[in-house]
C-alpha cells in the first residue's frame, strides 16, 4: 500500500499522515511511541527522511491521542431528578443520535471524543424531563463550555437524543447576527435535518442525510437564507400534532423574529384541542445565552423585549425545557433567581441544573494561550504602536484612519508566510483565516478594509514579480524582505525552509480575500459555500462584535485585536483564536496590547475558579440558586459583564476557597522608601529562619529553602510586608486563609528565590554578610493608570518564573505533577499547588525591573533590588472570606459612566 500511495501522491508527507491515521485509528490505548515506530517503518516507502517526520508524528498524535472528560453538573436538590429516565424507557432507539455519531466520525472526530460526547449529552438529556411524562412541567438549565470548543456539536448531539426520546418541537436561538444564524442553520442541516435548506438546493442530502437516506427526516421551518416567517412555516406545517418526525426552527435572537414565532405558535393554541401545541414536548436551545437573553431592565417593571419574548414562547408549552449554552456565564449567574414577572413566570435563571463541559485535550484555549509560559511566548505578540493610528478611545463612526500600524502589517506578513507553509504541507484546500478586530464602528472597519486591501495588492505585486527569482535578487525588493523577516522571526525553526516558501508565496497571497464582517456587510463570509464548490477560503476578516460572537472563523491562524473593552464576557467572546489547530498550531499568532494580555490571563484564572466552584458545590450538594457570586474582581476595575446586566448586584463578603491558588504581589513599588522597608524585612526574615531553624535549611537550584516553618512566622511577615493598596484584599485574605488552615497546615515552606547560575556582572542581593541570592530580571507593563506614581505592574501580572513551584519537591512528585497537568490539559503550575505540595509555599523574589518598548529593542533598566512575594496554597476544602463583585457599591464607584456610556461595549457594530 505505501508504494502505491507514494507513486500517485505528490505530497508524500500528507499521504503518510493519512496512512498512519487509518492504521492507528482503532488502537486503544494508543501510545506516542507506537506512532513514532510506525512512522519510521513507512518513511522509506514514502521517500521521507527521518528529519521530515516530526510534523507527521505531531499531526497523528494530535488527531488520535485525544481524550475528553465528561465534565460536572450542579443540580437543584429540591427537584426530583430522575437522571436515568431515558435508560429505563423500553424500545427507545437512538436513530438520530446514531446518524450524528457517524457524521462526526466522518468529519475526522476521534471515536474516543465522540463516545464521550455521547455520554455527556446523555447526562444532559437525563437532566431534562421525560417527554412522555404527563402533566405540565418546566426545566431550566445552563451548559457552560469554552470559547470555540464545540458547544454547537454538543447541543446538536443533545437535540438528536431529545428527538429520539420524543421531543417534537425544537427551537434553536442562534445569536443576534445573520451570519451566526446562517452558520448554525448549516450545522443543524448537516448534523440533524440531513437535507440542505438553502433555497434552490433541491433539498439535496447533506451530512447525516448522505450517510442514511432512509431515515425520518426532521422538518426545518427555516433555511440558510431566511429566518422564521409565519407564511413559510404555515406552508410547511399543516398539523404539528400529526407529525411523525420532529420539527426544528433556527432563529436569530431578534425581537421581531421571536414575536413572529410567538404569534404563529399562539395561533395553534386557539385551534381545536387535537391540533394545539400546548402538549407538544418542546426543547429550546439558547446559544450564546448570556447575550441579549439576560434581563437588563428592572424585572419588576419592564423586562427587556428579547427576554420577554423568549419567556412568552416558553409559556405557550405545558411541556417545556430551556437550555442555555455559553462560554461566558457571568451575566447568567447575575440573574436574580427570585425575580419573576406575573405574566411571564420565572426568569431564565438556570434553576434546575448547570453543566460544565470539559474540552478535549487538543483544545487550543485560554489556559494554553495565556497561562502556559512556553505556549504564550510562542503565540502572543504585543501591539504597542496602534494608539496614534487607531486609538482605543475613538467613539465615532467617522473617525479618520490614515494608515494601519506597523504591527498589523507584520501580522499580515505572518499570515501570508503561514499560508505558504500550509500549502507546502498539503493543506492548500483547507480554510485559512486572519482576524482583525480594531473597532466596533462599521465606518472605521470599512476604512481599515480599504487600507488593508491596498496594502495587500501592493505586496502581491512585489511577490508576483520576485518570488521566482534567485533569493539574493528577490530580497532586494522591500516587500519580499518584509516577508522573509516574518519567516526569520516566527517560523525559521520549522521544517519548511525559505527557498521552498518563496516559491509558493505568490499562490499564498493571491488566495487571500478581504472581508468586512458586520451586520451591514455587502458580501458574506461563507465557508460552506466555498466547500460546496470544492474550494477553500483564505479570508482576512475585518470586523467588530459581529466577528466576535459565536461565529467560527475556519482555519484561524493570525488574530489581531486592539480593543478597550474591560468586560470578562466580551473579552472572552472576542477570543476567536481559541479552538482546534491540529496540524498548524505552530503557525498561530495572537496580537494584543500588553494590557489586554494581562486581562485575558486574569479572566482565564477567574473562569477556572468559577468552574472549580461548580465542582466544589456539586460535592457539597448545593443548588444552582446558591451558585452565582463567585467571580473575582480585577484590581484594574475589569468589569465582570455589562453594567446593565448587573442591576441586582452589590459588593459583599463571600466564602471562597483558595485551595490550589497562587497570590503574588505583581504590583511592585519603584519608590526607594517602600523598597527599603521590604528589603529590610527580607533580611530580618532570613536571620530569624537561620537562627531558629538551622536544620531545615538547604540550597535548591541557587535558592535558599526552609522546609516546615511555623505558620505564625509567615503570618507576621505578610502583616509587615508593604502591599500596594490594590492588593490589600489579597493580603487580608492570605492571612485569613493561613489562620483558617492552620490546623491542617501548621507549617509553611519558605524559599528565597534565586537564579540557578551566576553570570558575569550579575547583581546580588545580600541577605547577610555571608549569604545572597541572584536577582531576577522582570519586564514591567504599564504604570498604574491612577493619580499616584511610584508603582509598576509586572508583565502579564506574574512574578514567579516557570517551574519555581516545584522547589523542594523530589523527582517522583514532579513527575506526578506533569502527568496530572497533561491529563487535565492544565498548567503544570496549577497542579503543584492543587495536589502535589503538602503545605503552603512562601516565595521571596528580588527583581531587577526593565521595560522593553518593543520586541526587538534592548531592555531599558528602571530599578534594581525590588522585593516581590508569592504564596501558593495546597489543594483542599478550606474557605476564607473576601469581597466579590455583586455589586451596588462598585457601581457607585463607576458613577462617571452611565448605563448608556459609549465606552460600554454593546452587542452590535454601529
Question: Higher confidence at residue 908 or residue 751?
Answer: 751
pLDDT top residue among 519 and 655: 519
Per-residue confidence (pLDDT) for residue 302, from 0 to 100 = 41
Who contacts 370 (Cβ-Cβ below 8 Å, separation ≥6)? 376, 380, 597, 600, 601, 604, 796
Q: What is the mean pLDDT of residues 33-50?
A: 84
The answer, yes or no, to whether residue 240 has pLDDT greater than 70, is no
**How much is the pLDDT for 61?**
73
The residue that leads in pLDDT, 242 or 611, is: 611
226-245 mean pLDDT: 76
pLDDT at 627 over 70: no
Using the 8-state DSSP alphabet, how is residue 360 labeled? P
pLDDT tens-digit readout, 7-24 = 333 467 778 888 888 888
Give 708's contacts (C-beta < 8 A, 6+ positions apart).
693, 696, 747, 748, 749, 839
- The confidence score (pLDDT) of residue 1 equals 42
* Distance from C-alpha of 627 to C-alpha of 625, rounded to nearest angstrom: 5
Cα four-point dihedral sign 323, 641, 609, 734: negative
Q: Which residues pair with 801 in a beta bridge?
A: none
Which residues in 438-546 belong to E strands, given as ranges? Answer: 512-517, 538-543
Query: Average of pLDDT values for 410-435?
Result: 94
C-alpha triplet 853, 857, 858: angle, nearest 5°? 105
Mean pLDDT of 280-303: 66
How many other C-beta atoms are found inside a 10 Å radius of the C-beta of residue 710?
A: 14
- Run of H or E residues at 684: helix 672-692
Cis peptide upstream of residue 195 (ω within 30 degrees of 0): no
Angle at 92 between CA 86 and CA 96, to 5 degrees: 100
Q: Which residues contact 691 (CB under 8 A, 6 or more apart)?
A: none
> What's the pLDDT score for residue 886?
42
CB atoms under 10 Å from CB of 316, counted, come to 18
User: Distance between CA atoms of 107 and 100, rounded to whole angstroms?
Assistant: 10
**What is the model's pLDDT at position 895?**
35
For the chain, percent of residues with pLDDT exceeding 90: 35
Query: Apex CA 903: angle with CA 900 and CA 908, to 5°?
Result: 75
Phi, psi at 99, each rounded to 5°: -65, -45
Would you place residue 281 in the very low, low, confident or very high pLDDT band (cuts 50, 70, 90)?
very high
Reference 284, options 255, 256, 309; nearest CA is: 309
The answer to whether residues 70 and 118 touch, using CB atoms and an 8 Å cutoff, is no
Yes or no: say if 668 and 868 are a contact pair by the CB < 8 Å rule: yes
pLDDT digits (tens, 9 = 90+) for 754-796: 998 888 878 999 999 989 999 988 888 754 444 445 677 777 6
When comparing pLDDT for 427 and 95, which is higher?
95
Q: Which residues pair with 872 in a beta bridge?
A: 662, 841
* C-alpha neighbours within 13 Å on the C-beta side of residue 88: 8
What's the pLDDT at 558? 93
pLDDT at 806: 80
CA atoms in the 13 A half-sphere facing the CB of 509: 29
Chain centroid, CA 665 distance in Å: 26
Question: Residues 866, 849: contact at Cβ < 8 Å?
Answer: yes
pTM of structure = 0.64
**What is the 8-class DSSP label of residue 567?**
B
Give the DSSP letter string of 384-429: -S-TTTS-TT---TT-------HHHHHHHHHHHHHHHHHHHTT-TT
**Average pLDDT for 440-462:** 94
Q: Is 93 exposed, middle or buried (0-12, 13-18, 19+ CB in 10 A)?
A: exposed
pLDDT single digits (tens) 190-219: 999 999 988 877 678 999 999 999 999 999
pLDDT in tens, 514-568: 999 876 777 778 887 888 788 899 999 998 876 655 567 888 899 998 987 656 5
Q: Looking at residue 643, what is its pLDDT?
A: 47
Rank 29-38, 382-391, 578-587, 900-909 by mean pLDDT and report only the highest: 382-391
Collect all residues with Cβ–Cβ distance below 8 Å to 457 and sequence separation of at least 6: none
Strand partners, 59: none
Report the mean per-residue pLDDT for the chain: 80
Q: At which residue does the C-alpha cell 446586566 appear?
A: 645
Confidence class for position 835, pLDDT limits 50, 70, 90: low
Q: Residue 8, by phi and psi: left (phi above 0), alpha (psi -120 to 50) or beta?
A: alpha
Write down the pLDDT at residue 398.
81
CA distances from 629 to 143, 625, 881 (A): 17, 10, 13
Amino acid at each position: 500500500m505505501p508504494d502505491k500511495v507514494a507513486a500517485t501522491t505528490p505530497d508524500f508527507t500528507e499521504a503518510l499522515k493519512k496512512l498512519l491515521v487509518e492504521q492507528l485509528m482503532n488502537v486503544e490505548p494508543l501510545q506516542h511511541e507506537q506512532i513514532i515506530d510506525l512512522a519510521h517503518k513507512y518513511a522509506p516507502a514514502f521517500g521521507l527522511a527521518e528529519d521530515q517526520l516530526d510534523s507527521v508524528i505531531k499531526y497523528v498524535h494530535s488527531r488520535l491521542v485525544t481524550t475528553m472528560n465528561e465534565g460536572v453538573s450542579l443540580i437543584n436538590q429540591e427537584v426530583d431528578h430522575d437522571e436515568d429516565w431515558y435508560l429505563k424507557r423500553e424500545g427507545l432507539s437512538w436513530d438520530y443520535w446514531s446518524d450524528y455519531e457517524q457524521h462526526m466520525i466522518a468529519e475526522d472526530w476521534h471515536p474516543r471524543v465522540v463516545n464521550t460526547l455521547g455520554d455527556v449529552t446523555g447526562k444532559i438529556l437525563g437532566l431534562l424531563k421525560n417527554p412522555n411524562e404527563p402533566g405540565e412541567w418546566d426545566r431550566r438549565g445552563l451548559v457552560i463550555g469554552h470559547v470555540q470548543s464545540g458547544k454547537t456539536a454538543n447541543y446538536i448531539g443533545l437535540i438528536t437524543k431529545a428527538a429520539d426520546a420524543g421531543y417534537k418541537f425544537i427551537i434553536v436561538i442562534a445569536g443576534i447576527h445573520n451570519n451566526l444564524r446562517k452558520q448554525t442553520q448549516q450545522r443543524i442541516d448537516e448534523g440533524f435535518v440531513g437535507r440542505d435548506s438553502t433555497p434552490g438546493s433541491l433539498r439535496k442530502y447533506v451530512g447525516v442525510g448522505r450517510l442514511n437516506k432512509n431515515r425520518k427526516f426532521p422538518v426545518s421551518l427555516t433555511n440558510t437564507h431566511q429566518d422564521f416567517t409565519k407564511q413559510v412555516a404555515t406552508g410547511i406545517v399543516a398539523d404539528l400534532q400529526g407529525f411523525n418526525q420532529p420539527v426544528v426552527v433556527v432563529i436569530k435572537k431578534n425581537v421581531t423574529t421571536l414575536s413572529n414565532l410567538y404569534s404563529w405558535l399562539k395561533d395553534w393554541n386557539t385551534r381545536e384541542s387535537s391540533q394545539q401545541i400546548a402538549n407538544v414536548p418542546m426543547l429550546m436551545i439558547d446559544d450564546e445565552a448570556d447575550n441579549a437573553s439576560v434581563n437588563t431592565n428592572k424585572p419588576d417593571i419592564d423586562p427587556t423585549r428579547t427576554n420577554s419574548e423568549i419567556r412568552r414562547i416558553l409559556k405557550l408549552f405545558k411541556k417545556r425545557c430551556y437550555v442555555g449554552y455559553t462560554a461566558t456565564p457571568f451575566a447568567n449567574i447575575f440573574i436574580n433567581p427570585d425575580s419573576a414577572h406575573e405574566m411571564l413566570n420565572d426568569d431564565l435563571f438556570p434553576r434546575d441544573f448547570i453543566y460544565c463541559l470539559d474540552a478535549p485535550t487538543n483544545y487550543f484555549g485560554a489556559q494554553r494561550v495565556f497561562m502556559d509560559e512556553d505556549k504564550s511566548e510562542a503565540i502572543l505578540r504585543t501591539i504597542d504602536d496602534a494608539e496614534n493610528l487607531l486609538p482605543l478611545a475613538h467613539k465615532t463612526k467617522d473617525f479618520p484612519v490614515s494608515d494601519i500600524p506597523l504591527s498589523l502589517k507584520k501580522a499580515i506578513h505572518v499570515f501570508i508566510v503561514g499560508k505558504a507553509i500550509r500549502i507546502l504541507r498539503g493543506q492548500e484546500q483547507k480554510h485559512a483565516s486572519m482576524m482583525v478586530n480594531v473597532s466596533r464602528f462599521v465606518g472605521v472597519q470599512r476604512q481599515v478594509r480599504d487600507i488593508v486591501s491596498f496594502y495587500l495588492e501592493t505586496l502581491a505585486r512585489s511577490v508576483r514579480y520576485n518570488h521566482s527569482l534567485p533569493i539574493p535578487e528577490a530580497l532586494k525588493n522591500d516587500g519580499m524582505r518584509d516577508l522573509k523577516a516574518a519567516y526569520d522571526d516566527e517560523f525559521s525553526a520549522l521544517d519548511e525552509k525559505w527557498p521552498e516558501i518563496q516559491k509558493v508565496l505568490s499562490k499564498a497571497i493571491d488566495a487571500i480575500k478581504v472581508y468586512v464582517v458586520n451586520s451591514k456587510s455587502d458580501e458574506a463570509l461563507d465557508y460552506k459555500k466555498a466547500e460546496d464548490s470544492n474550494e477553500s477560503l483564505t479570508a482576512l476578516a475585518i470586523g467588530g462584535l459581529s466577528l466576535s460572537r459565536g461565529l467560527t472563523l475556519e482555519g484561524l491562524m493570525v488574530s489581531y485585536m486592539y480593543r478597550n473593552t474591560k468586560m470578562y464576557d466580551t473579552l472572552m467572546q472576542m477570543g476567536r483564536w481559541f479552538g482546534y489547530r491540529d496540524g498548524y498550531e505552530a503557525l498561530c499568532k495572537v496580537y494584543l496590547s500588553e494590557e489586554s494580555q494581562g486581562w485575558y490571563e486574569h479572566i482565564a484564572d477567574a473562569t477556572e475558579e468559577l468552574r472549580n466552584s461548580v465542582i466544589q458545590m456539586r460535592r457539597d450538594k448545593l443548588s444552582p440558586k446558591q451558585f452565582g457570586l463567585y467571580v473575582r474582581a480585577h484590581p484594574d476595575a475589569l468589569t465582570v459583564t455589562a453594567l446593565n446586566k448587573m442591576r441586582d448586584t452589590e459588593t459583599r463578603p463571600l466564602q471562597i476557597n483558595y485551595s490550589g491558588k497562587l497570590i503574588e504581589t505583581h504590583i511592585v513599588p519603584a519608590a526607594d522608601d517602600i523598597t527599603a522597608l521590604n528589603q529590610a524585612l527580607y533580611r530580618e526574615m532570613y536571620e530569624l529562619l537561620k537562627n531558629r531553624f538551622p536544620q531545615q535549611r538547604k540550597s535548591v537550584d541557587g535558592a535558599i529553602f526552609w522546609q516546615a516553618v511555623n505558620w505564625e512566622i509567615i503570618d507576621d511577615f505578610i502583616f509587615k510586608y508593604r502591599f500596594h493598596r490594590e492588593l490589600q484584599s489579597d493580603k487580608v485574605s492570605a492571612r485569613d486563609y493561613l489562620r483558617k488552615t492552620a490546623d491542617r497546615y501548621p507549617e509553611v515552606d519558605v524559599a528565597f528565590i534565586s537564579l540557578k547560575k551566576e553570570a558575569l556582572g550579575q547583581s546580588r542581593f545580600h541577605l547577610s554578610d555571608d549569604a545572597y541570592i541572584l536577582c531576577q530580571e522582570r519586564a514591567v507593563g504599564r504604570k498604574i493608570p491612577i493619580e499616584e506614581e511610584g508603582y509598576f505592574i509586572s508583565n502579564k501580572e506574574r512574578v514567579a518564573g516557570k517551574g519555581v513551584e516545584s522547589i523542594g519537591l523530589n523527582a517522583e512528585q514532579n513527575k506526578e505533577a506533569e502527568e496530572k497537568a497533561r491529563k487535565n490539559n492544565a498548567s503544570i503550575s496549577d497542579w503543584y499547588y492543587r495536589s502535589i505540595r503538602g503545605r503552603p509555599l512562601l516565595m521571596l523574589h528580588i527583581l531587577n525591573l526593565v521595560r522593553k518598548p518593543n520586541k526587538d529593542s534592548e531592555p531599558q533598566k528602571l530599578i534594581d533590588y525590588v522585593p516581590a512575594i508569592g504564596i501558593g496554597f495546597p489543594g483542599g476544602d478550606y474557605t476564607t472570606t473576601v469581597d466579590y463583585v455583586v455589586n451596588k457599591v462598585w457601581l457607585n464607584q463607576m458613577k462617571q459612566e452611565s448605563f448608556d456610556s459609549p465606552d460600554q461595549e454593546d452587542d452590535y457594530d454601529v
